[in-house]
């Protein structure tokens, strides 16, 4: 009996302990589930708060950008204060411990982490970038009464560098965020912010470069001289157009004046030719080193500028510190801000008429040498008016930004240290040896010996194709050339040498540059295989097609390309600026990692 009773007591005690353990396990589970549900609800609530604040901040950021450009300083100050409040609230809503834990959870963790990084980026911009851009008077970046306040530029240089650094570092952090697993709203918010940051980075980088470079460029440390050259897109060259005229600009202590003018025809022919790179010689023989009008057959503006500077030095004895190139379209943009400008002995130019007057009407009344002289006088008149006439500085900066983006304003410094600061920006007119994104260049050179470029219209479509086993990617490029030229009635100065055989048919050499490390697979003109020249330039394969188009007709060139090793699903186009902007399209594809 004793043993039997003891056994029953042990069994009852064991059952009690089991029930206690079960209750503890259930209680613990309930607590954990409760905490998880409560935490999840808290995170969801905070996420809703963060989303509302971020939407408000995004709208305020757009308003602030418009107000800064428009010069509405009073409203911009109030908008900045509201933006900082909303951005700070968004960051605070994503900064508590529950959010930190939830970021590491499966499924939603990636989205929560991305939202927090977006909130942090907006707040950094509101604290570190926008206040600087608001404090600095944009008018200090354009000349007044023929001069720039160099002391003011140097005073704001450090602030602009800090703002540019904040924008670039924020952009780099956001580019490091993976997007493949994000939900649509978060992915769209992230990609939209990246795009806006890229635009802002272009502005802050240009302002930073300007504040650092303009003082020495404009003679703060001693006098400087520059060649202002006019590119004529009626006779196409890779960087924009044949250089027909030039002027010499002198700068000292921020004051700029024009001292002399000349034309390319006065420089004559160089025999023996100036030395050109072997790769350029294989594509264009010795033409760039022989004729001033051909220095820019290659799309590398520093090469063309150095050749032209040396030609002017040899013929005139003037040694320039750099070369600044513009075209009549840039002049029309400037005239739209400063108003009509009188040209000595010629009709006044306005924003609406400048391109037609310079590139079409003048050929009916002037000989070739007189046209070059007219171009030079027009550029000088517009430039002088720009330097001396009071105009809205923000509108002028918008014109400069547009012209640089379209590669219509190009600059090269003969001083290597200054050129390094400019880097690979659009202002330099370079095609870098390496790509961050696969980049295809399409560059145009007239082959007619005529001025028919005024009548040509161009479009380009680039489609990103399949990923290759070797890590490359296929690209398909389509270029169309359409002629609006009349079938009769053009002056001999327009039809020129008529090297295509028909005075009204335009012959254009279309040079296609592959992405860095890429290759050309083949080309077809109007659906048929066509012979194409080939070469290399700056680690890129180059193929050149002869495209001849009659008045009213359209020709289509298709080129298949390979990139270098890349995972990118996007690509970029770099194009010769023409009289009217190209119609362009880039069709992207998923990354090869997806």
Q: Where are the domains of the chain?
A: 26-217, 224-420, 433-587
CA 552 to chain centre: 32
Query: Where is pLDDT greater, at 323 or 61?
Result: 323
Distance CA 361, CA 343 (A): 15
Residue 394 has pLDDT above 60, yes or no: yes
Class of domain 224-420: alpha beta
Question: Residue 11 — very low, low, confident or very high, per pLDDT cuts 50/70/90?
Answer: low
Q: pLDDT at position 114, please?
A: 60
Distance CA 389, CA 403 (A): 20
121-146 average pLDDT score: 73
Look up residue 517 and give its DSSP letter. T
Query: Where is pLDDT greater, at 119 or 271?
Result: 271
| Within this chain, domains 224-420 and 433-587 share the same CATH topology | no
The tokens 């540059």 sit on which residue? 513
Q: Is the dihedral of CA 158, 435, 299, 381 positive or negative?
A: negative
Residue 23 has pLDDT above 60, yes or no: no
Residue 304 has pLDDT above 90, yes or no: yes
Question: Residue 37 — very low, low, confident or very high, per pLDDT cuts 50/70/90?
Answer: very low
Q: pLDDT at position 98, please?
A: 45
Least confident of 65-74, 103-112, 113-122: 103-112
Q: Which residues contact 354 (CB under 8 A, 6 or more apart)?
A: 328, 331, 332, 335, 378
Distance CA 267, CA 309 (A): 11
CATH architecture of 433-587: Sandwich (2.60)
Cis check for the bond before 272: say yes or no (omega within 30 of 0).
Answer: yes
Give the residue from 52, 381, 386, 379 showing the smallest Cα distance to 245.
379
197-222 average pLDDT score: 79
Question: Residue 6 — very low, low, confident or very high, per pLDDT cuts 50/70/90?
Answer: low
Residue 260 has pLDDT above 60, yes or no: yes
Residue 178 has pLDDT above 80, yes or no: no
Residue 29 has pLDDT above 50, yes or no: no
Element (H, E) at 364: helix 362-365
Most confident range (mean pLDDT) of 1-10, 94-103, 105-114, 437-446 is: 437-446
428-437 average pLDDT score: 91
Distance CA 394, CA 373 (A): 32
Q: pLDDT at position 240, please?
A: 97
pLDDT in tens, 495-519: 999 999 999 999 999 999 999 999 9
Least confident of 152-161, 225-234, 425-434, 580-589: 152-161
Q: pLDDT at position 156, please?
A: 82
Q: What pTM does this model have?
A: 0.79
User: Residues of the chain with pLDDT > 70: what percent?
Assistant: 78
User: Residues of the chain with pLDDT > 90: what percent?
Assistant: 47
The tokens 């022919």 sit on which residue? 269
Cβ contact 87:123 at 8 Å: yes
Residue 220 has pLDDT above 90, yes or no: no
pLDDT in tens, 93-116: 555 554 444 444 444 445 556 666
């Amino acid at each position: 009996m004793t043993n039997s009773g003891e056994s029953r007591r042990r069994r009852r005690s064991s059952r009690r302990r089991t029930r206690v353990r079960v209750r503890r396990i259930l209680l613990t589970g309930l607590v954990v589930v409760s905490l998880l549900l409560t935490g999840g609800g808290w995170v969801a609530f905070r996420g809703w708060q963060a989303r509302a604040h971020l939407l408000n901040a995004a709208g305020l950021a757009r308003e602030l950008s418009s107000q800064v450009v428009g010069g509405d300083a009073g409203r911009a100050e109030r908008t900045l204060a509201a933006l900082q409040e909303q951005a700070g609230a968004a960051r605070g809503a994503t900064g508590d411990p529950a959010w930190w834990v939830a970021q590491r959870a499966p499924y939603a963790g990636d989205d929560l982490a991305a939202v927090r990084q977006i909130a942090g980026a907006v707040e950094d911009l509101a604290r570190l970038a926008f206040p600087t851009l608001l404090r600095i008077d944009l008018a200090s970046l354009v000349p007044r009464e023929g001069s720039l306040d160099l002391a003011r530029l140097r005073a704001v240089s450090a602030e602009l560098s800090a703002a540019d650094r904040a924008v670039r570092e924020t952009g780099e952090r956001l580019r490091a965020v993976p997007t493949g697993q994000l939900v649509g709203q978060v992915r769209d918010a992230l990609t939209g912010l990246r795009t806006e940051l890229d635009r802002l980075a272009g502005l802050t980088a240009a302002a930073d470069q300007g504040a650092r470079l303009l003082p020495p460029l404009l003679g703060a440390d001693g006098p400087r001289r520059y060649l202002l050259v006019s590119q004529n897109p009626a006779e196409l060259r890779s960087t924009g157009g044949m250089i027909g005229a030039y002027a010499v600009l002198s700068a000292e202590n921020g004051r700029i004046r024009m001292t002399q003018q000349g034309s390319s025809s006065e420089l004559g022919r160089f025999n023996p030719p100036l030395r050109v790179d072997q790769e350029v010689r294989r594509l264009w023989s010795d033409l760039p080193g022989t004729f001033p009008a051909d220095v820019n057959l290659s799309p590398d503006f520093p090469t063309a500028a150095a050749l032209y500077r040396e030609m002017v030095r040899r013929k005139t004895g003037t040694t320039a510190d750099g070369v600044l190139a513009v075209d009549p379209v840039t002049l029309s943009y400037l005239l739209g801000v400063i108003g009509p400008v009188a040209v000595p002995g010629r009709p006044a130019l306005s924003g609406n008429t400048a391109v037609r007057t310079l590139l079409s009407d003048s050929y009916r009344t002037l000989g070739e040498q007189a046209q070059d002289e007219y171009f030079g006088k027009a550029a000088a008149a517009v430039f002088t008016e720009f330097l001396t006439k009071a105009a809205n500085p923000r509108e002028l900066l918008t014109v400069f930004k547009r012209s640089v983006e379209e590669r219509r304003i190009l600059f090269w410094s003969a001083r290597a240290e200054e050129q390094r600061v400019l880097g690979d920006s659009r202002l330099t007119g370079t095609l870098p040896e390496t790509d961050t994104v696969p980049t295809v260049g399409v560059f145009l050179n007239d082959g007619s010996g005529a001025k028919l470029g005024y009548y040509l219209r161009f479009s380009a479509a680039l489609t990103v194709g399949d990923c290759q086993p070797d890590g490359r990617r296929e690209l398909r490029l389509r270029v169309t050339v359409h002629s609006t030229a009349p079938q009769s009635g053009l002056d001999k100065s327009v039809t020129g040498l008529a090297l295509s055989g028909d005075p009204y048919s335009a012959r254009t050499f279309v040079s296609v540059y592959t992405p860095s490390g890429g290759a050309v697979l083949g080309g077809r003109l109007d659906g048929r295989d066509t012979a194409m020249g080939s070469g290399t330039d700056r680690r890129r394969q180059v193929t050149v097609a002869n495209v001849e188009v009659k008045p009213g007709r359209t020709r289509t060139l298709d080129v298949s390309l390979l990139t270098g090793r890349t995972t990118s699903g996007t690509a970029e186009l770099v194009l010769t600026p023409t009289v009217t902007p190209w119609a362009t399209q880039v069709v992207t594809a998923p990354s090869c990692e997806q």
